[in-house]
């Protein structure tokens, strides 16, 4: 028995994988041992990144260097094969046999990459434990094509090194879209060739808030932005990890930083403008674009350049929380509305979104907007990001829109996880527990078959008003990102909260291995032995 614990796996020890794969079968009781300098082979050099990624992981986190090779005749420990078979993108089969090692066959390169992510979870969670892989066959594929995670880099700015780390976290969880919220009232964080003033005059605010809401205001300059080179680097880094970056430029509201650079773009051009110092929807400070020819010219140039910078299909226009009082109070805006037959301010909001949609579609891309873009009407081709009540998402589906579900009460990770965390987050929010994230039903039971096909997937968001450091960002996303990942990847009939709750213990060991901070609220609130 002593020997068998070193060379084999007990049949009952099903590997604990997050997100839960579609099918796991244990093939025997043997095990394959991954040794130093073992070979990782690939079917051709197009999988070079995937092979090196695995070798770098085992070396960096477990102290086990591996060698990579293209079609080597020697018996490899791990073989990577891209079947390129046109089946579901991201699907893969992973087989471990005690004598021949590991075979990962992906439907495409993304599938090979996800097979590697599953293999990583068969490896130990600490260096020094010898990697014994159970004899297993895992067949797996994602439930939804859009599995997103968002990050607001405006309220608080995060350096490129953290953006890359965040992208790695997404990859570990088999998520494939990074929604980068780059502009808002408090700053413009993307260098633009067409208007350098946006970062020259719109990326800094005069002060910063310390402590819990409402906090203590300190008059310290606060700012930052990403250069084009940095953005290109992030896009490339993400693409290697089969993640698409979706940029968001939020208009026509949430535009104080634009107005700080170009006060004439507002309905109150003679009043002084600066980036917002605090958070919220502004009825006190004008943060809304006015419908003027120079503003539409601006939108055309900015969104055209955005389409050129970001190679992905989706471009996010924001469109949320536009304070319409600024349009109501402006005689010039009301005249524009009359002249263009716009019956109310919702129709004007829709006019702005349509305008940007034409620019983006002219570049061969697809527009995505927060669910307020439904107000005043929007063409079917715009993808709706449903962040408010699920009933709004139902309306989007009923009216034929592709929809991404990110309802705030289940997927805003800036909400604290538990009442036991008085020291973090905004006051007075109903906590968003790990179980609530897990149990949220992405597709409501009542939707019809056709509507079901319009649900592209789901996203979790991290708004950073109260998250000024990378340390806090990690604490808010982990381990809830794991619950979200299982919800959006695994087949519905494989979802099981008790089983997930057991697996999460192992997942946090992995967070420790990666040097990532995580919240222990779940462990403090629950007697974990209940799940064992």
Catalytic residue set: 184, 254, 321
Q: 375 or 496, CB closer to ligand ACM? A: 375
CB of 255 to ligand ACM, least distance (A): 14
Nearest approach, Cβ of residue 114 and ligand ACM (Å):
29
Side-chain-side CA neighbours of 462 within 13 Å: the count stands at 30
Q: Which is nearer to ligand ACM, 178 or 511 (CB)?
A: 178
Greatest alpha-carbon span in the chain: 85
DSSP per-residue letters across 397-417 = HHTT--EEE--HHHHBTTS-S
Contacts 24+ apart (CB under 8 A), 260-263: 260/201, 260/202, 261/188, 261/195, 261/197, 261/198, 261/200, 261/201, 261/202, 262/195, 262/197, 262/298
Q: Give the CA radius of gyration of the chain.
A: 24
Identified binder of ligand ACM from the candidate list 50, 140, 191, 320, rule CB under 6 A: 320
Q: Is 311 helix (H, G, I), strand (E, B) or coil?
A: coil
Shortest spacing between CB 210 and ligand ACM, in angstroms: 23
Nearer to ligand ACM, 166 or 370 (CB): 370
Residue 181's SS3 state is strand
Quickly list H helices, 63-207. 109-122, 160-172, 197-202
| Least separation in angstroms between CB 370 and ligand ACM | 4
- The single residue among 97, 206, 232, 321 that binds ligand ACM, judged by CB under 6 A, is 321
**Measured at CB, which residue is nearest to ligand ACM?**
320
Calpha distance 41→47 (Å, rounded): 9
CB hemisphere CA count around 352 (13 angstroms):
31
CB of 290 to ligand ACM, least distance (A): 21
- Pick the closer one to ligand ACM by CB: 386 or 487: 386
- Mask of contacts with ligand ACM, 171-190, x by CB under 6 A? --------------------
Integer Cα distance of 216 and 210 in angstroms: 5
Closest by CA position to 66, among listed 102, 99, 13, 22: 102
Q: Which of 387, 438, 466, 522 binds ligand ACM (CB under 6 A)?
A: 387
Site string for ligand ACM, 355-374 (x = CB under 6 A): ---------------x----
Nearest to 178 by CA among 246, 90, 249: 246
Q: How far is CA 387 from the centre of its chain?
A: 14
Residue 413 C-beta: closest distance to ligand ACM, Å? 12
Nearest-approach distance from CB 480 to ligand ACM, in angstroms: 17
Q: How far is the CB of 415 from ligand ACM (least distance, A)?
A: 11
Residues 327 and 292 sit within 8 Å (Cβ to Cβ): no
CB 471 within 8 A of CB 419: no
Task: State which residue, 20 or 248, has the beta carbon closest to ligand ACM.
Answer: 248
Judge whether 354 and 407 are in contact, CB under 8 Å.
no
Nearer to ligand ACM, 89 or 375 (CB): 375
Q: Rounded to 5 degrees, what are φ and ψ at 55?
A: -65, -40
Site string for ligand ACM, 262-301 (x = CB under 6 A): ----------------------------------------
Query: By rule CB under 6 A, what count of residues binds ligand ACM?
Result: 4
Residue 248 near ligand ACM by CB under 6 A = no
Taking residue 159's Cβ as centre, other Cβ atoms within 10 Å add up to 13
User: Which residues have CB under 8 Å from 99's CB, separation 6+?
Assistant: 32
Pick between residue 306 and residue 317 the one whose CB is nearest to ligand ACM.
Answer: 317
By the 8 A CB rule, do 35 and 58 touch? no
Nearest distance from C-beta of residue 383 to ligand ACM, angstroms? 14
Q: With 0-12 CB in 10 A as exposed, 13-18 as middle and 19+ as buried, what is 114?
A: buried
For ligand ACM, the closer of residues 237 and 410 by Cβ is 410
Nearer to ligand ACM by Cβ, of 319 and 376: the residue is 319
Q: Is residue 417 within 8 Å of residue 519, measured between CB atoms?
A: yes
State the residues that interact with ligand ACM by CB under 6 A: 320-321, 370, 387
């Amino acid at each position: 028995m002593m020997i068998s614990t070193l060379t084999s796996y007990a049949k009952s020890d099903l590997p604990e994988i997050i997100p839960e794969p579609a099918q796991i079968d244990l093939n025997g009781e043997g095990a394959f041992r991954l040794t130093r300098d073992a070979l990782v082979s690939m079917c051709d050099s197009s999988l070079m990144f995937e092979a090196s990624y695995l070798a770098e992981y085992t070396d960096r986190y477990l102290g086990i260097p591996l060698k990579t090779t293209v079609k080597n005749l020697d018996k490899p420990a791990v073989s990577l094969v891209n079947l390129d078979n046109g089946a579901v993108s991201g699907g893969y089969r992973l087989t471990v046999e005690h004598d021949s090692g590991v075979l990962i066959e992906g439907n495409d390169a993304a599938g090979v990459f996800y097979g590697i992510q599953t293999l990583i979870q068969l490896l130990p969670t600490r260096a020094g434990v010898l990697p014994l892989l159970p004899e297993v066959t895992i067949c797996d594929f994602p439930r939804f094509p859009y599995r997103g995670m968002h990050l607001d880099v405006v309220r608080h700015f995060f350096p490129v090194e953290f953006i890359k780390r965040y992208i790695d976290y997404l990859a570990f969880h088999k998520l494939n879209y990074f929604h980068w919220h780059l502009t808002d009232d408090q700053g413009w964080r993307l260098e633009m060739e067409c208007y350098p003033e946006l970062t020259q005059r719109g990326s800094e605010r005069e002060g910063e808030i310390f402590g819990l809401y409402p906090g203590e205001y300190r008059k310290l300059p606060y700012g930052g932005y990403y250069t084009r080179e940095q953005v290109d680097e992030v896009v490339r880094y993400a693409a290697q990890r089969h993640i698409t970056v979706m940029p968001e430029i939020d208009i026509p509201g949430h535009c104080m930083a634009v107005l700080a650079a170009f006060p004439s773009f507002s309905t109150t051009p003679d009043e002084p403008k600066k980036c917002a110092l605090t958070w919220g929807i502004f009825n006190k400070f004008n943060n809304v674009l006015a419908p003027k020819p120079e503003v539409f010219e601006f939108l055309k140039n900015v969104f055209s350049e955005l389409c050129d910078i970001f190679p992905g299909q989706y471009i996010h226009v924001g469109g949320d929380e536009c304070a319409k009082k600024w349009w109501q109070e402006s005689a010039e805006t009301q005249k524009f509305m009359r002249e263009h037959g716009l019956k109310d301010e919702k129709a004007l909001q829709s006019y702005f979104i349509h305008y940007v949609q034409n620019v983006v579609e002219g570049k061969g891309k697809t527009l995505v907007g927060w669910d307020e873009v439904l107000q005043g009407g929007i063409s079917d081709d715009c993808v709706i990001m449903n962040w408010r009540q699920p009933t709004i998402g139902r309306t989007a589906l009923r009216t034929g829109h592709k929809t991404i579900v990110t309802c705030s009460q289940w997927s805003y990770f800036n909400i604290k996880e538990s009442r036991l965390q008085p020291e973090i987050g905004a006051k007075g929010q109903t906590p968003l527990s790990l179980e609530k994230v897990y149990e949220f039903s992405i597709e409501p039971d009542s939707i019809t078959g056709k509507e079901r096909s319009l649900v592209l997937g789901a996203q979790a968001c991290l708004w950073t008003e109260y998250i000024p450091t990378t340390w806090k960002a990690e604490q808010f996303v982990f381990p809830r990102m794991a619950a979200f990942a299982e919800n959006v990847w695994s087949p519905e009939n494989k979802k099981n909260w008790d089983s997930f709750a057991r697996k999460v213990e192992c997942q946090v060991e992995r967070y420790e291995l990666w040097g990532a901070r995580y919240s222990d609220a779940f462990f403090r609130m629950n007697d974990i032995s209940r799940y064992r």
